[in-house]
Structure 1
C-alpha cells in the first residue's frame, strides 16, 4: 500500500512537500520552518514525521489552543525555543462605539493587501481591539499596507505574544448513526438540519471541508475532517466507530459551541 492511499488525491502535492522536508532533514541535515498550516495540514505533518529517531517536528502558533501554527521540522540534534519562533503579534484599536468590525473584515483587508493566507495565523476582533499573529517576515508588510479595515483606519503595533487573548471556545462532542458519510448526510446529522437544507448550503458554496469550499453533496467525508457551514459554525468528524447490525455507520463528532 502506498503512503498516498491514506490521504485524499488532492492532498498529494502537500504530502510530497512534507516528504521533501523530511528527506532534507534526514539526509541533508536541514531544518525547515513552514508557513502557517491549518489543522488538517498539521495532522498530515504529524502523521508523516511524528517523533522519529533522526527527525522531529514541533508545531506552535503563538499560544496554546490556537488553530493555525507553523511547523518546525528538524534533525533531532537541532532545537528552537518557543521564544525564538518567527512569530509576531500585531495589535490595533478602532472606535467600537462608531464602527463595527468582524473577523471577516480583517481577513478581507489582509487578503486584499496581497498577503498570502499562509503568512498569518489566528486573529481576534473584539471590543475595539484587533489582535493578529503573523509570520515575523511579514510583520512590516502588514504594518505598511493594512491601514484600513472596513470603515476604520488602523495602525498596527507590535506586542508580546503573551498578550494574545485566546478566545474561550469549547468543543462539544456527540455521537450518532448515519446512512452514509456523504457530506449532506453528515451535515444534516451534526447541525440538526434537514438534508435538503444541507444540500442547499453546499450548492450555495457555504460549506468547507478542511478549509476548502466543497460544492458536491456526495463528497465523502473521512475521519479527522474539519467542517464549517457559514452561519452554523464549525465541527470535526472525530471518529468513524464502525457499523451497526442494520448497516448504519456509527460516528462521533465535535462541534464548536
Structure 2
C-alpha cells in the first residue's frame, strides 16, 4: 500500500533555499515487514505533539533535501543528455521527489521498483530524449534454501544482505516465499557480488541467483477497512485498535524500534497521527488513517 507524507511547506522552503555543494550522504531508509494493511476512519480530536512531529519532519525534510541536491546534479546531466539514477527510495520520498522534478524544465523521470506494485523504487531522471524507454535500473535475485524447519523473516533476509557490507539504500523490496526463500530487488551493479558472497540466511545455507523481473512472484497486499472511535489520535491508541494488540504490547514495540509512521521510526507513544498517515509494525503489516 503506497502512502504520502504532507511535506508541502518543507518542500517549498527547500526549493527556495540554496543547495549546498557537498557530497550527498547515504541516508538509512527503513522498510517494514508484512504486506497486509488496514484502514481506520476515526472521529476524535487531539492536540498536536509538535516536538516529536517536528523531529520526524526534520528527518524526512533532510531526505528530501538530499533528493533535491541530486536533482540539481541530474539537471546538469540532462543538459548533456545523460541519465541519472537515485538509490532505492521510500514512497513518501518518491512522491516528493517526483513533485520536485515536475518543476524542472526539460527533465523526465521514471520510478522503477522491479514490478508494478513495488514499494521501494529508484528514480531515473534525464532529458526526455535520453529516457525514451524504461531504463534497466533494477535486478531481481532469488535466494533459495530449505527454510521448512528454519523459517526466516523479512528482517532475517535483509540482515543477511546487509551483513555482506551492502547499504540499505541499494536494496529494494523483499518478497518472501515461505519455505522456498525469498526474491529480492537490488541495484544491478551488486548482482555478481551478492551471488558470490551471500551463503547463509539465519542458520540456513542458501544459493543466490539472478532471475528475470518477469519471474517475480508477488500478490497485491490484502486490505480491510473498519471504523473505530478513540479518545485521541495518538499512535498508541490507533495502532493498538488497528492491530488488535494492547497498548502495553505496542509500547514495547515502539521501544524496540518496530513501529514507524510514514516509514520513520516513532520515539514516543504520544505521537499524534493525521489523516493519510501510515503506521507500520514489524511483522504485522500496516494501517492507513482515513
Question: TM-score, normalized by length of structure 2?
Answer: 0.70
Alpha-carbon distance between aligned partners in 1 of 2:233 and 2:218, rounded to the nearest angstrom: 33
CA contact (8 A) 2:144 2:206 kept: yes
1:201 corresponds to which of 240, 253, 267 = 253
CA contact (8 A) 1:21 1:73 kept: no
CA contact (8 A) 2:112 2:138 kept: no
Query: For this pair of structures, how many residues does the alignment match?
Result: 237
Alpha-carbon distance between aligned partners in 1 of 2:224 and 2:164, rounded to the nearest angstrom: 36
Q: CA RMSD in A?
A: 2.8
Query: Where in structure 2 are the equivalents of 1:99-248 lying within 5 Å?
Result: 99-126=150-177, 127-175=179-227, 178-237=230-289
Corresponding residue for 1:20?
A: 69
Alpha-carbon distance between aligned partners in 2 of 1:152 and 1:93, rounded to the nearest angstrom: 9
Distance change >3 Å, CA 220–CA 44, structure 1 → 2 = farther
Range 40-49 or range 186-195, more displaced: 186-195
Alpha-carbon distance between aligned partners in 1 of 2:223 and 2:103, rounded to the nearest angstrom: 27
SS in 2 for 1:140: helix
Alpha-carbon distance between aligned partners in 2 of 1:80 and 1:134, rounded to the nearest angstrom: 23
How much has 1:180 moved relative to structure 2? 3.9
Alpha-carbon distance between aligned partners in 1 of 2:274 and 2:126, rounded to the nearest angstrom: 30
Alpha-carbon distance between aligned partners in 1 of 2:86 and 2:65, rounded to the nearest angstrom: 14
SS in 1 for 2:88: strand
Distance change >3 Å, CA 91–CA 200, structure 1 → 2 = closer
Alpha-carbon distance between aligned partners in 2 of 1:184 and 1:218, rounded to the nearest angstrom: 7
The CA deviation string for residues 5-25 of structure 1, in whole angstroms up to 9 with x for no partner, is 999222222222222233334
Corresponding residue for 2:19?
A: none
How much has 1:36 moved relative to structure 2? 0.8
How much has 1:196 moved relative to structure 2? 4.9
How much has 1:52 moved relative to structure 2? 5.8
How much has 1:133 moved relative to structure 2? 1.4
Q: Which has the higher relative contact order, 1 or 2, with Cα contacts under 8 A spaced 6 or more apart?
A: 2
Distance change >3 Å, CA 182–CA 114, structure 1 → 2 = same
Distance change >3 Å, CA 76–CA 220, structure 1 → 2 = farther
Structure 1: gaps (5+ residues): 238-251, 253-257
SS in 2 for 1:205: coil
Distance change >3 Å, CA 186–CA 86, structure 1 → 2 = same
